[in-house]
Amino acid sequence: MNGGTGGGLTLAEKILARAAGLEAVVPGQIVDGRVDLAMMHEQGAQTVGPFHEMGAERVWDPDRVVIAIDHWVPASTEGAAVLHQILRKFAREQHLPHFYDVGRHGICHQILAEDGWVVPGDLAVGTDSHTNMLGAMGAVAAGIGPTEMAAVLALGKIWLKVPPTIRVHVTGRLGPGVTAKDLVLKVLGEIRTTGATYKAVEFSGPTIAALPMTDRFTVCNMTTEMGAKCGMIGADSVTTEYLRPIAKHAMHPAAADADARYERTVEVDVDGMPPMVACPYSPDNVRPLPEVVGEHVRVDQVFLGSCTNARIEDLREGARILKGQKVHAGVRYIVSPASTKIYQQALKEGLIEVFTEAGAVFTNSSCSACFGGNMGILAPDETCASSSNRNFPGRMGAKEARIYLMSPAATAATAIRGEITDPREYL
């Protein structure tokens, strides 16, 4: 379906115009945007050298910079320890007060979300591709490289091209056992991994309006797998209620114009949609989960974690299915909360006990098994069912390993059965 052809602005265009101090912008236009929030994790260590080489002496605004240790927590290799050391030294030298070191740690995107660092109307950038997740706040949030970040730290601005926007309009009601993860997998199967390359993906419709913030984060997070520059959901009462007690700076919400110009509109109806699964070796190799269940795919490892799906609601869903059950013999079930706060909440609610009594391994909060560089690395010819966002060859270890992407509920059901399972069987 073609998008609107009027003269109005999309949500991304509205926010980028504000950041650039302009009345309006158009796709393809180059703008110099004022950054509201800059985030770095371990990859940000590669920013420090260029920052000094370009002659910068001080970060433009220490209160607008957040650093989070999240991939290797605590450091599991000498290389990781060096990255951490570089960031700690930089934070001390630059008097950066918002450093989430080991003990306060968590996945960088989750920290930005739960501590209110990104608010409606912001232009936020981070040294990780899944910074898109924060677009759920009604912001433009995008991943950038370390050299780009060095310039942002020095100047507080970023030079970028205004992306065209794909609108995803979602209607219908998610059925029992069908989640926001299933919804975004369905959309990913439609748009594909290159269908939104350097474009904004703006979600709208009554189904999106009904989603709580935790689900909106999941939806925007996986626009990265569509190739998108940013994924966005317009701010509404759900957003402002979530942010009101935690927002670190003033909100300046924007809304797409009724006659906004979209490159195209993708219509999705979730009525009757079953749970979905992305099969090897691409996040857009999406099929209805019941079809895959019929193939009796055995698994060696199951992972409930990542910035996509490791919030407290996800852990509760997994624990609800796992309670009173046992992890199948021969299956490793790794559960990693997205932040220290979520870990503490899981402890208070007894969720950690549920997982460990069932035979799962509950880890500290980090990226964990998602990126294949810390714990939970797969051997050749192993199969993993994961609530994470990518299943390309080599993503979680050996390039010969197979990864199936699914909802947290589906990971729990799969861990019990030892093969890919529809979570609705346990509801």
Give pTM, 2 decimals: 0.96
pLDDT average, residue stretch 316-325: 98
pLDDT tens figures, 388-426? 999 999 999 999 999 999 999 999 999 999 999 999 999
Domain membership of residue 4 (yes or no) is: no
Distance (Å, whole) CA 298 – CA 263: 41
Q: Per the structure, how many domains does the chain have?
A: 2
Q: Can you read off the two tokens belonging to residue 402? A: 């197979």
Domain C-terminal end among 218, 240, 268: 268
Strands (E) across 127-261 are located at 140-143, 157-161, 165-171, 200-204, 230-233
Q: In DSSP terms, which residues pair with 126 in a beta bridge?
A: 39, 143
- Please report which confidence band the pLDDT of residue 6 belongs to, taking 50, 70 and 90 as the band edges: low
How would you classify the pairing of strands 123-126 and 286-288?
unpaired
Distance (Å, whole) CA 401 – CA 378: 6
pLDDT average, residue stretch 243-266: 97
State whether 71 and 183 are in the same domain. Answer: yes
Domain membership of residue 6 (yes or no) is: no
State whether 295 and 241 are in the same domain. Answer: no
Contact 322, 290 (CB under 8 A): no
Domain C-terminal end among 268, 298, 329: 268
How would you classify the pairing of strands 332-335 and 99-100?
unpaired
State whether 302 and 418 are in the same domain. Answer: yes
pLDDT average, residue stretch 358-382: 95
pLDDT tens figures, 57-73? 999 999 999 999 999 99
State whether 215 and 282 are in the same domain. Answer: no
CB neighbours of 172 closer than 8 A, spacing ≥ 6? 207, 268, 269, 270, 271, 272, 273
Q: Can you read off the two tokens belonging to residue 79? A: 């290389």
State whether 119 and 199 are in the same domain. Answer: yes
Strands of the sheet with 165-171, listed across from one edge? 230-233, 200-204, 165-171, 264-269
pLDDT average, residue stretch 252-273: 97
Domain membership of residue 160 (yes or no) is: yes
**Burial of residue 388, with CB atoms counted within 10 A of its CB: 0-12 exposed, 13-18 middle, 19 or more buried:** buried
State whether 301 and 391 are in the same domain. Answer: yes
Least confident span in 1-5, 45-49, 241-245, 374-378: 1-5
The C-alpha R_g of the chain, in whole angstroms, comes to: 21
State whether 158 and 219 are in the same domain. Answer: yes
Distances (CA, A) of 200 to 340, 389, 423: 31, 18, 32
Neighbours of 400 (CB within 10 A): 12
Asked if the model's pLDDT at residue 350 lies above 60, the reply is yes
Domain C-terminal end among 219, 243, 268: 268
The H-or-E segment that residue 14 falls in is helix 11-20
Distance (Å, whole) CA 111 – CA 103: 13
State whether 247 and 346 are in the same domain. Answer: no
Asked if the model's pLDDT at residue 234 lies above 90, the reply is yes
Distance (Å, whole) CA 225 – CA 203: 15
Structure confidence at residue 411 (pLDDT):
98
**Residue 155: which domain range?**
11-253+260-268
Q: What rounded mean pLDDT belongs to the chain?
A: 96
pLDDT above 90 covers what percent of the chain?
97
